[in-house]
Amino acid sequence: MESGFAARVFAPKGTQSKPPPLPDEFKAQLAIIIKKELLKPHDPAQILLEAPNQKPLAVSCKFVNHTAGIATWLRNPIVKDGKIINGEGHAISLLLTGIDKSADDKAIDIVASMTEIRGVKKFTDEARKELRPIIVTLCHNFEISIDQFFVASMEMFAQAFFDQFGAQGDKREFDRHTKG
């Protein structure tokens, strides 16, 4: 059974129109790849995602006390010896299960300390207020927030993450917030 979860996306304001969504069959394949990789015993969990006509995308998720996560999303990742070592910064996500409040708070505190990231204070302040389970994502620019490959990957990753812990909540649509 799939876990329900909320999702919030923070991004700078933009005016570009949203591209069409990815086909459901592709999302299903993406979900299988992510679930399989997330079950492997490694920390951080690193997953390279590829799609036709898309720049490669990678996610590296550091687990916090085994029940929360901090996911870094990179475009055009550089992979060496099977490990993602760098790439173009794309977004950062907090995955907060609500199972262990101290783990959720620790993950938020870690991201809050990343003061070099524009908008991180408002992002982490808002994350503290949210009901759990939730994925809260801060995108580096508006285009990322409407990139359908990224959005589908983020949603499938969150679903697999929360399913792994049996975190239950109400399934809600992505809630997009922009900041100036």
Residue boundaries of the structural domains of the chain: 6-38+91-179
Which residues pair with residue 88 across a beta bridge?
75
Interval 129-152 mean pLDDT: 91
Beta carbons of 126 and 8 less than 8 angstroms apart: yes
Per the listing, tokens 């399989």 go with 36
Instruction: Transcribe 87-127 into DSSP letters.
Output: EEEEEEEEEE-SS-HHHHHHHHHHHHT-TTSTTHHHHHHHH
Compute the chain's Rg from CA coordinates. 15
Structure tokens at 124: 């982490």
75-113 confidence digits (pLDDT tens): 999 999 988 999 998 899 999 999 999 999 999 999 999
Q: Are 126 and 10 in contact (CB under 8 A)?
A: yes
